[in-house]
Chains A and B, each alone.
Chain A
Amino acid sequence: MLSFQSSKNVLSLTEDLLVRIYELLAAESDRKSFRLVCREFRRIDSLTRRHLRVIRIEFLPILLRKYPRLQSLDLSACPRIDDGVVSLLLTRVGPGSNSPSLGHWAWGLKSLVLSRATGLRFSGLEMLTRACPCLESVDVSYCCGFGDREAAALSSAVGLRELNMDKCLQLTDVGLAKIAVGCSKLEKLSLKWCMEITDLGIDLLCKKCVDLKYLDVSYLKVTNESLHSIASLLKLEVLGLMACPLIDDVGLQFIERGCPSLKVIDVSRCEGVSSSGLIYVVRGHRNLLELNAGYCLSELSTALLHQMKNLNHLEVIRIDGARISETSFQVISANCKSLVEIGLSKCVGVTNMGIMRLVSACINLRVLNLTCCHSITDTAISAIAYSCRSLVCLKVESCNMITEKGLCQLGSFCLLLEEIDLTDCCGVNDKGLEYLSRCSELSCLKLGLCTNISNKGLSYIGSNCLKIHELDLYRCTGIGDDGLEALSNGCKKLRKLNLSYCNAVSDRGLAYIGRLEELSDLEMRALHKITGVGLEAVAVGCKKLADLDMKHCEKVGDSGFWALAYYSKNLRQINLSYCGISDMALCMVMGNLSRLQEAKLVHLSNSTVEGVELALRACCARIKKVKLFAPLRFMLSSEILEILHARGCIIRWD
């Protein structure tokens, strides 16, 4: 960091040099430090910044004024954005305080993320698309209320290239037609879960938007007719057909003859697709890079294998749930030498010998998913470790026969390993973790249900794997406060931590957790020893906490919740089920946490109906999803339920 003495020299740097320096800062925390140095630096920051992700909407007007060069705006974390807010932003926020040029910030905007903006409707969207003439990318995924009118509003953005409409549940062919006609330059379109879309809409889309490179129609009830239309897209590179129940091998025949640029295809979970369908696809597209066929093959047949010999460029293959023989591995490894990722989750017939054959030639493998391949042992792991030196991700959940020997090999050879899933591998012990901790790049470690590990093992991780940002210790009953101390001393970058059912953890352990400033996700179900003191320590220390699950933490008292209400301003999701929270504390938590979007409030032993009602009233403007005790359905006032419904809040009754 810059020292005080050198600041004069730094200030003498010209603006363009400062901009260059600024652009070299990758981490957000570094940029934050940069702009806090002085006004000049701060000015550089505001001039250079292109992307903005807003977490608290109340600062949005100021921020938009401060950053005039924005190209990308992410409002997905703002639950409260609605048509009124959009209108205000466009009419009131100019570059200067008295500037007549209204909505200036929107002129240069190219990318807009409005995911989960359930408060927004077509009039607001229309205002936005009109105000942003350069708009190229829009994300309105998970806006469940969006339909044809919203699509019509979006279709006025004629320059649109990328559009994500996942789970816009009301969207029909009519809305899709609007977009297809209006945004003819579209290159990327995702329509997952838009259940009303039929073949007619897809057909029109393929005729109007001929530049499409990416199309995802996963989960739609489209038939082979749609595939016939899609086959005419000459530029299509990525096609997502996941879990389309009505397509089958006949439809894939069209793909064989069409889509000459196809690189990636996903037919996983398509009930109608069999290996003969995949044969068509493979036969027609020798340059395929990625083949995703999980849970649609019963067996990797020899005919398919024979065709796959030609896929010399294949990088990713996922055949989860299929039966696979040892000779198949031989064929794959002999022909698909550029394979980078292979997914064999829940495959039957994966043996040590098979894996050894596979890795003998596929030395570029970086991602290997062997989840639930129960018969593999340390022999296979050793072979993987020895051959695939560039391995980044290894998933061996439920492979019970893996012991410290295998981990020793991994720790010796796979020094690039970033992610390992050892959930439910009861062969893992402290010694194994010691070996594994040699992989200093490790960022994601899952040790759920590994009951044989203790504080000692965790201390190895804490002292060596300093880059860890996700750690899963679900039901690791051997872990206690000392382990967490070691962890908090080393793994300062930890963002996601699961401590559920680690019964030994007490308030002291949570105090260590409080030292993890980057922590955003904390799951600590059923920690019976912790009280309000521990929760307060977490709330005060973990300022970025966004997701907190403390179901069944029955001993936590109101003081802890009050602390939560005052300190955890960034909290977005909370699970307070089976907690002893009082009415007052509940109102505080729900009312004061201005970013809260989702709350689970089942079986609150110390709360009354009135308390819940008041708490809901306090947060009804922004809450999006709430889970409540089923009998409350008839006890809460209909007024509050109507308000919640009107605001687009989903209520789950339990």
Chain B
Amino acid sequence: MDLKERVCDELQKEVPKGASSTNFNTQHQQKWEDPSSTLDYSTRIEPPFQAFNQTCQTQSLLLCNNQIKVPMQDGSINDLLQQASKIQDWDPSAMLNNLSFLEQKIHQLQDLVYLIIAQKGQVLGRPDELLVQQQQLVTADLTSIIIQLISTAGSLLSSVKQTLSAATTSLGQCGEFGGVVFPSSAQRLNDGVQPQNAGGSKVSEPPNSIDITSNNGNEQNNHIVEEHELKDEEDAEEGENLLPGTYEILQLEKEEILAPHTHFCTICGKGFKRDANLRMHMRGHGDEYKTPGALAKPTKESSSEPTIIKRYSCPYAGCKRNKDHKKFQPLKTILCVKNHYKRTHCDKSYICSRCNTKKFSVIADLKTHEKHCGKDKWLCSCGTTFSRKDKLFGHITLFQGHTPAIPSDEIKVAPAGTSDGATNKVGSVNFNLSSYVSSESEVQSSSMDIKGGIDDAVGYFSPLSFDTCNFGGFHEFPRPPFDDSESSFAFLLSRSCNYSQKSGE
């Protein structure tokens, strides 16, 4: 609560200042480009500001996009957000409205939390249900507050486009923005926000500055999503509603796409995947390549006009990603093009060495798969495998007639005396006692030597002919008269015969 209030206060303090709109923008620039910050642009030297006008713009745009992607429980919040994102011109009164709404909302939430605290001591009856409901309420409210907050900030950023100037800004404010707003946002929003921050820090050589975020988002997705190869590309572009004609379409040739290297040394001809690596390589060719200027990332010529957005087309005719397709969906970056082309139009030459069934055309996909391969030990009768038992059971619950399959290696060898052997040995169809008993005993004695001097197996198994055994000296003992009525009807109604079996203590 305290944190939220502080955020709110600080925003209120800051927003009425006229210059704050530019501040936001430049803060971002600082954040991205300042080598002293946590970002990892070690090889880079101070870039000119102008180049990043566009960055900011797209960032704000992407920010909004990402917000939309945030899983939301509340439809109204979504609407609100979209409304907010539509605001083109910065309207201070609208901003004030937003902020006072936020203030109200926070107060409401505060009251609710007070209520919860007060109730905690009393309620014993059904603590779980109520608490869960309350928690959900609080979470929902918090989420809506955070989203509102960010969308307010977002509207501010989008308005920057018009009022942009080369104004510099203080690092202190930068810290305020970066340090307060983002970290205080709920986890759910972090999902949407952080890829941008992380993206900026990871890619050392984006094809052009515009694509930093999307490129990275894509790359990350590649690692996370394994199975749905095409889907991740689409995911990355979800929400991008560029109108046809507002961007430049580039189409690389097949050979260009499949070429292992895209950057070549002009001196020795060695190829590299990344131009940063090429620059590192160039240092070996002489001192002139060691200057900060030579090692710096080459940038586009700075201009005040926004550069045209570039999008890519797949060279494969008939593909949805091909520019001639009716429902053409452009690819965002060269990396997207490469992965798309390999996955969709090339042979899957990488085979998983563990399962020998899964094939991939992108090696990163194989590596991702190998991490999880062999862990699918839960098998359904339909052939689907699951890495987790609860997933299998969920599947079985859902589909009529599916059952879990029992792995075949657990099959135990059936005990001696199974059908075939036993039936063959019983010669007579007329099934009398002796033939039955002998067949059973033959089968059993094949695996174990029970007789202990008794040659006649029948004698052992038949309780009626014990005297055939060679226990010397027992013949003298008087044999009981054969009680036919008792032994040949050796069954009893279970009701009348109450044999309770004693189990061991």
Contact = CB atoms under 8 A, between A and B. Distances in A.
Interface in B448-497: 448-452, 460-463, 466, 469, 471, 473-474, 477, 479-480, 483, 485-497
B278 interface: no
Contacts of B402: 181
A588 to B, nearest CB: 7
Interface in A591-620: 591-592, 594, 597-598, 614, 617-618, 620
Which secondary structure characterizes the binding site on chain A? helix
Given A27-B496, A92-B431, A181 B423 contact: no
Nearest to A116: B501
Contact of A621 (B426, B444, B449): B444
Contacts of A614: 452
Contacts of A127: 419
Contacts of A540: 480
A24 interface: no
A124 B412 CA distance: 13
A77 B449 CA distance: 25
B128 A55 contact: no
Contacts of B410: 148-149
B494 A74 contact: yes
Interface stretch (A215-223, A315-323, A562-570): A562-570
Contacts of B357: none
B483 A82 contact: no
Given A121-B412, A572-B501, A200 B439 contact: no
A401 interface: no
Which secondary structure characterizes the binding site on chain B? loop
A546 B500 CA distance: 10
B423 A91 contact: yes
A53 B497 contact: yes
Contact of A61 (B412, B419, B436): B436
Interface in A41-55: 51-55
Given A36-B485, A119-B415, A200-B389, A617 B450 contact: yes
B437 interface: yes
B396 interface: yes
B406 A51 contact: no
A587 interface: yes
B409 to A, nearest CB: 12
Contact of B488 (A59, A177, A543, A646): A59
A29 interface: yes
B418 A123 contact: yes
A180 to B, nearest CB: 9
B496 A28 contact: yes
A618 B450 contact: yes
B421 to A, nearest CB: 8
Contacts of B451: 617
Given A83-B415, A148-B406, A177-B404, A77 B499 contact: yes
Contacts of A59: 433, 487-488, 490-491
21 contacts: A26-B496, A28-B495, A32-B489, A54-B491, A82-B417, A83-B415, A87-B422, A92-B426, A97-B431, A127-B419, A149-B406, A174-B406, A177-B403, A181-B402, A520-B499, A543-B483, A592-B466, A597-B501, A614-B452, A620-B448, A643-B448
Given A175-B406, A625-B504, 12 more contacts: A29-B496, A55-B490, A83-B414, A83-B417, A84-B418, A97-B429, A174-B404, A177-B393, A253-B126, A562-B474, A573-B501, A643-B447
Interface of B: 126, 128, 389-390, 393, 396-397, 401-404, 406, 410-412, 414-419, 421-423, 426, 429-431, 433, 436-437, 439-440, 443-444, 447-452, 460-463, 466, 469, 471, 473-474, 477, 479-480, 483, 485-499, 501-504
